[in-house]
Structures are given as structure tokens and as C-alpha cells.
Amino acid sequence: MPRSNSSSATKSDAGYAPEAHDGYGQCMKIDATLMGGLAEAAASARELEQAGYDGAWTAETAHDPFLPLVQAAADTSNIELGTSIAVAFARNPMLLANLGWDLQAFSKGRFILGLGSQIKPHITKRFSMDWSHPAPRMREMILAIRAIWDCWLNDAKLEFRGDFYTHTLMTPFFTPDKADLSGFGVPKIYIAAVGSLMTEVAGETCDGMIVHGFTTEKYMREVTIPAIERGRAKAGLTLDGFEISGPLFVVTGNTEEEMAKAAQATKQQIAFYGSTPAYRGVLDVHGWGDMQDELNHLSKSGEWVKMGEVIDDEVLNTFAVVGEPEQIGGELKRRYGDIVDRLSFYAPYKSDPGRWAKVLDDLRAA
């Protein structure tokens, strides 16, 4: 995605004005998932840093996403560390401001606060938290976090009043030392988004956006990028310094059997996401909207294997880069090199680490 050389970033209502810089033409960053829980985090992070990855990310699945990053930060020195994602609506702005501040300080400026909304059943039934208007709520949450950081870092009065969050009390006893962030400032904030409204929020309030794995090149060019641009315009910002991070489906293997297993597992994952009504828009862009109805019906019947059979090779090749390890790097670069600033490999199947080393080398060479 071409970057303007303009540096006309203006201050928003949360005091957000990132330093503008032109990142276009720089090497795409390659990220990976930080595997395991707290006990494995340090070793996993060291391996990723030594392998040459630019970023290591945790997910909020079976483990807390923040705690492993403490271990990872202690045992690495260069690799960026982030949450992809932490569930925003399971927490509040003050808690996230504290977590972000401490991890940024401990990692010496390498932390990225990646947030996602999740869907209503998880927020209300798993986390027992309120659900309402996810895009406006996310916007306000990020602005509140920035207002809290502005208070701590710049001695601004904490006076944030919104429709969902209110923060008006801060005393010296609860204020961290601004020297904690000396030399690197507050963390970057990314949010995960699929629909246009949340994507606009990312453009308006964030330093970057995490593209959902259930996306395509066509959807990104026709829906995602324009929505980011609208959000940036609302805040008086250009695309300078804004990063798009994409976990992208990859199907590869060293043998025909490995390729077949990888393709089948990826079809199942695509089908799972495709059954979700919130993601129908991605299918609609390709004229496949009716597929969502079929997948949703099968999911409610527990027909998980049949769901994967709905995904034919055309759909697979649209969502995933499919090929031998030597082909993957070049094809990823061809599809996404001008629109994605950092990427990771979304491979929902067991694989050989050496396979990804080859892809990584090819991306670096490209």
C-alpha cells in the first residue's frame, strides 16, 4: 500500500498524534506465534528471534496472552512482542493501560497492544461482561487508554467521559513513573477487524490493524484499505506509520501427502470461519454469500466434516497461498507485498519448522 510522504498528522480528542514516517518500500516484517504457555514462552521467543522473525505474538485462547510476554521479553532483546489478540471487552481501559505500560517498560519499547472485540456469546457467556455496539465501544476504549497514558506521561488531567467508559480519578499514588518509558514512549495499539466499521476505528485511533485470517486479497483491496483510509481521514491522519498485519492462510508441504493433509485442514478452518454471520461480507465480495448460509446450517447440525467439503479448490486458493515451500514466499509477496506491512503464516495443521525457515528466507530475498 503506497504511503504518502505527508507528515500532517493532527492531534485527536485523545491526544493521539503518532510521529509520521514513510514506511513504504521497507522490508515486510515477518511474524510468528509464540507457542505454548508461560513455561514455554522464553524458549519459544528465543528460537523465533534466532530464526530471524521480526515479531512474536500471543493469542488469548487456552492461556492468558500477557503473562508469556514477560518471559519472552526477559529472554530476548530485539524481537517485537504483541498480543494477537487480547480480548478487549473482557477488560477495561485502566487495566489495559497498566498492562501496556508495564510490558512496554519491561521489554524496552518492544510491546504492541493488540486487541479484539470477540463476539457477543463469548463476552456475555464466557467472560460475563457487557456487550453493546462493538465498534463505538472499541473506539472509546482506545481513546480512554490513550487519555490515561497522556495523564501518566504528560501530567494531563484525567477527564475522560464517554458513553461506555468514564475515567476521572488519578492520584500520584496510582501514577507510574514516566521515566519507565523514557526513550521509547507508549506502546503501539493494533486492533483486529473484519467489517468496515471496526476497520474505520482502527484507522482513526490505532497504529495498526490485524487482518483476520479469513480474508482475501480482493476483500483487502476493495473493503479493508478504503475503510482504513476513511478512519485516518476522520482523525486528520495519513497512512504514514500505520501498519497492516496479516495472518494469512498458507498451504504447503514437502510431499503430496503433506500437501493434501494441509489443504484439508485449511479447508476445514475456512469453513469454520465462513459459517460465522459476521464474516459473510468477505464471501459476498466474491459472490459466495449463499455459502455462508449453507455452512452456518451445517455448523448448527454439527456436520463439521461436510463443512470442509463445501470449500472447493477455487475457494481454497482464493483464501490461501497454496504451493511448495519454494513458491510460497514469492506468491505472498505478489498478492500482499504492497498492502501488508507485516505478515505471519496461518497454518492450521502440523508442520515441519524447517519448511517455514525456507519461506522466511525466500521472503527476505524477495
Q: Which amino acid is at 8?
A: S
The secondary structure of residue 277, as a DSSP letter, is: G
Per-residue pLDDT of 229-257, as tens digits, reads 999 999 999 999 999 998 899 999 888 99
Residue 178 belongs to domain with CATH number: 3.20.20.30
Burial class of residue 251 (count of CB atoms within 10 Å of its CB; 0-12, 13-18, 19+): buried
Give pLDDT, residue 2.
40
Residue 41 lies in a domain: yes
Give 120's contacts (C-beta < 8 A, 6+ positions apart).
131
What residue numbers bound the domain in which 227 lies?
Answer: 29-249+324-365
Question: What pLDDT does 9 receive?
Answer: 32
In a domain, 102, yes or no: yes
Residue where the block lists cell 515441519? 352
Q: Which three cell numbers stand for residue 225?
A: 484499505
Burial (CB count within 10 angstroms: exposed 0-12, middle 13-18, buried 19+), residue 97: buried
Residue 103 near residue 81, CB atoms below 8 Å: yes
* Strand partners of residue 115: 86, 191
**Which DSSP state fits 251?**
E
Distance in angstroms (rounded) separating the CA atoms of residues 140 and 129: 16
Contact in structure between 53 and 32 (CB atoms under 8 Å): yes
Domain count, the chain: 1
Residue 27 has pLDDT above 80, yes or no: no
User: How far apart are the C-alpha atoms of 87 and 71, rounded to whole Å?
Assistant: 20
**Torsion over CA: 347, 351, 353, 358 (sign):** negative
Contact (Cβ atoms closer than 8 angstroms) between residue 346 and residue 59: no
Model pLDDT, residue 352: 65
5 has a pLDDT exceeding 60:
no
Q: By the 8 A CB rule, do 97 and 149 touch?
A: yes
| Residue 5 falls inside a structural domain | no
From 216, 234, 191, select the one nearest 339 (Cα to Cα): 216
| Neighbour count for residue 163 (Cβ, 10 Å) | 10
Confidence of residue 362 (pLDDT cuts 50, 70, 90): confident
Q: What is the pLDDT of residues 144-153, one digit of tens each?
A: 999 999 999 9
Residue 357: predicted pLDDT: 75
- On whether residue 2 sits in a domain, the answer given is no
Q: Give the pLDDT score at 254.
A: 85
Q: What is the tens place of the pLDDT at every residue in 249-297?
A: 999 988 899 999 999 999 999 999 999 998 999 999 999 999 999 999 9
194 belongs to a structural domain: yes
Residue of 238, 220, 216 lying closest to 229 (CA atoms): 238
Residue 314 inside a domain? The answer is no
DSSP string spanning 85-102?
-EEGGGS-HHHHHHHHHH
β 166-167/160-161 pair status: antiparallel
Is the peptide bond prior to 85 cis by the omega test (within 30 degrees of 0)?
yes
Give the pLDDT mean for 309-335: 93
Establish if 294 belongs to a structural domain: no
Looking at residue 303, what is its pLDDT? 94
Q: Residue 217: inside a domain, yes or no?
A: yes
* pLDDT tens-place string over residues 66-114: 999 999 999 999 999 999 999 999 999 999 999 999 999 999 999 999 9
Model pLDDT for residues 325-346, shown as the tens digit of each residue: 888 888 998 999 999 999 988 8
Distance in angstroms (rounded) separating the CA atoms of residues 330 and 27: 14
pLDDT at res. 315:
97
The predicted pLDDT at position 366 comes to 62
- Above 70 in pLDDT, residue 11? no
How would residue 353 be classed by pLDDT, with cut points 50, 70 and 90?
low
